[in-house]
Amino acid sequence: MAKKDRKALVAIVMGSDSDLGLMTETARMLEQLEVPYEMEISSAHRSPERTASYARGAAGRGIKVIIAGAGGAFHLAGVIAAETTLPVIAVPIANSTLGGMDALLSAVQMPGGVPVGVMAVGKAGAVNAAIFSAQIIATFDSSVGRRLARHKKEMAQAVAEKSERLKKEFHL
């Protein structure tokens, strides 16, 4: 089935087009795991109504997980979580003078009752958000579970290959 014809299960939302470079890492990993996704730019502060209505409509359109990435005073994930019962995963982006601590603390300090799952700051977080979403999707789609298992094997193999290369280089 063509990519555009597959119904998105994961939504990647980012606060600005300046976040796209990092959030592309999330998209790449979802492609690798063959999880259909959609992407949206919407800001908690600059376009609050658009953000709220997008979050309200997501579940009805078949979205199962929302990933939100933003930097600075990162309220996007929390605002989305306030408007939906879907699981929301936050990717704090280090693009301000405070180096991502601002985004991390804004995302992680949610009040009781409105959870947001917070990933690592930066690229590891962007990649892990995709894997974590796929793990949620795998609870009802075993083909995604099989691709996750394959990804784990590939990672282990890559580490072993690096170790072999290092041994050759040092004649060990």
Q: How far is the CB of 10 from ligand RP5 (least distance, A)?
A: 19
Judged by beta carbon, residue 70 or residue 116, the one nearer ligand RP5 is 70
Instruction: Report the distance separating Cα 114 and Cα 87, nearest Å.
Output: 10
DSSP letter for each residue of 74-134: --HHHHHHHH-SS-EEEEEE--STTTTHHHHHHHH-PPTTS--EE--SSHHHHHHHHHHHH
CB under 6 A: which stretch of 10-18, 23-31, 79-87, 138-146 binds ligand RP5?
A: 10-18
Residue 18 interacts with ligand RP5 (CB under 6 A): yes or no: yes
Instruction: Report the distance separating Cα 40 and Cα 100, nearest Å.
Output: 21
Q: How far is the CB of 100 from ligand RP5 (least distance, A)?
A: 10
Q: How far is the CB of 126 from ligand RP5 (least distance, A)?
A: 12
Q: Which residues from 74-103 bind ligand RP5, rule CB under 6 A? A: 93, 95
Q: What is the largest CA-CA distance in the chain?
A: 62
Is residue 136 within 8 A of residue 33, CB to CB? The reply is: no
Judged by beta carbon, residue 71 or residue 125, the one nearer ligand RP5 is 71
Identify the burial level of 25 via C-beta atoms within 10 angstroms of its C-beta, where 0-12 means exposed, 13-18 middle and 19 or more buried. Answer: buried
Which listed residue (16, 32, 47, 135) binds ligand RP5 by CB under 6 A?
Answer: 16
Q: How far is the CB of 86 from ligand RP5 (least distance, A)?
A: 20
Identify the burial level of 158 via C-beta atoms within 10 angstroms of its C-beta, where 0-12 means exposed, 13-18 middle and 19 or more buried. Answer: exposed
Q: Which residues from 30-69 bind ligand RP5, rule CB under 6 A? A: 43
Q: Which residues from 114-153 bind ligand RP5, rule CB under 6 A? A: none
Instruction: Give the interface with ligand RP5 as residue ranges (CB under 6 A).
Output: 15-16, 18-19, 43, 70-72, 93, 95
